[in-house]
Structure 1
């Protein structure tokens, strides 16, 4: 992670915006890591934490919405044909589409906490034909949670730069367990609510 600090210092907020936006379009870039590094630098007084968070949030939303537009207008065959060089394969896109079709806004909101879904979120939602306003609302909620989590933690612990890599690795592992559990609880709650309304 430390090797990215010179890049963040050199390219600043524009570099952060481009990286996070392109990651949301499916490119294998370290958007999440750059947010942590930039927030750690903000804790040291070298960047503004509000500017870092707002830049990352805007980049995430813009990138996913461009991906949504690409998925909606171009469709899966063209995306898979040209996206395979960036890791957007038929199977990966189909898996993301299937999740979005089954769970919709819940998957979109929490997609950023998973590497595959974070990169295919917008494209898959567009290919699946999800309504744009539903996608936009869920995407903004997800981007706010994702950026808020990593930027606030890195800013809080950022004065000790040696601790950031340990936090990142540990919380990434926790997120892989906690986020699916949250999704499962929300899905069960939604099913119970629907069942009670139907029984009435």
Structure 2
């Protein structure tokens, strides 16, 4: 079975674009690992251009996220409306989700690019709760560009040294993400009625 390093050495920029793009759509693939491997390979072998790696990563991230958003907007939303009540996801909670994304979705989309689980599902969730697409696109593009630049040029400059630290960085990021998610969940749970009232005032009547 081909490992990440073989994937990069054989398919180069195409592997970076495709893996990151598919991960952003919602398929759990190692996009960050592929980007790190490509940047390190470029630094140590000189066979790849770091600027093209950056462009491929950013393009994959932005395009993949927009496909994920579209799937959530067209498919996830309808499924949530149809089957949500069976898992206690009624219209009231959908409105709360939309309300939260309208106000904090930019942060979720931007910073979610740096956390593996959120990187895979943030775009789909944004589409499902009908986050404004122009606003999503802005934060999606900013997150994709900044994330790609940091990992591509950072690991290119540091070579194998920074690669050895990537595992620790990932564990720290995941730990922070878990804490943030738990805190947000507890806050939302305690303020559900208040948020529901605000969401109803923001989106009166049935959802379209």
Could you tell me the TM-score, scaled by structure 1's length? 0.72
**Structure 2 residue aligned with 1:83:** none
After superposition, what is the alpha-carbon deviation per residue over 1:50-99, rounded to whole angstroms, capped at 9, x for unaligned? 000010000000000001111111134648xxxxxxxxxx99xx9xx576
User: Offset at 1:153?
Assistant: 1.8
**Which residue number in structure 2 is paired with residue 32 of structure 1?**
32
**CA contact under 8 A between 2:69 and 2:127: conserved in structure 1?**
yes
Counterpart position of 2:127: 126
Q: Which secondary structure does the structure 2 equivalent of 1:144 belong to? A: helix
- Give the alignment of 1:39-50 within 5 angstroms: 39-44=39-44, 45-50=46-51
**Runs of 5+ consecutive residues of structure 2 not aligned to the other structure:** 81-87, 184-208
**Who is 2:195 aligned against?**
none
Work out the CA distance in 1 between the residues paired with 2:9 and 2:22. 19
Aligned to 1:17: 17
Aligned to 1:104, the other structure's residue is in SS state: helix
Compare 124-133 and 171-180 and name the one that shifted more.
171-180
Give 1:100 deviation, angstroms. 3.2
- Equivalent residue of 2:26, what SS? coil
- Residue 178 of structure 1, CA deviation: 6.9
Superposed CA offset, 1:143-200 (max 9, x none): 1121112112210111xx3x3442211222343467899xx9xxxxxxxxxxxxxxxx
In the alignment, which residue of structure 1 is the partner of 2:189? none
Q: Distance in 1 between matches of 2:75 and 2:3?
A: 37
Q: Paired residue for 1:116?
A: 117
Residue 166, structure 1, aligned to residue 164, structure 2: yes
5 Å-filtered alignment, 1:87-106, equals: 100=101, 103-106=104-107
Determine helix, strand or coil for the equivalent of 2:29: coil
Contact 2:72 2:127 in 1 (8 A): yes
Contact 1:105 1:135 in 2 (8 A): yes
Q: Give the Cα–Cα distance (whole angstroms) in 2 for the partners of residues 35 and 172 of structure 1.
A: 14
Which range moves more in the overlay, 138-147 or 171-180?
171-180
Q: Which has the larger radius of gyration?
A: 2
Residue ranges of structure 1 left out of the alignment (5+ in a row): 80-89, 185-200
The number of residue pairs the alignment matches comes to: 166
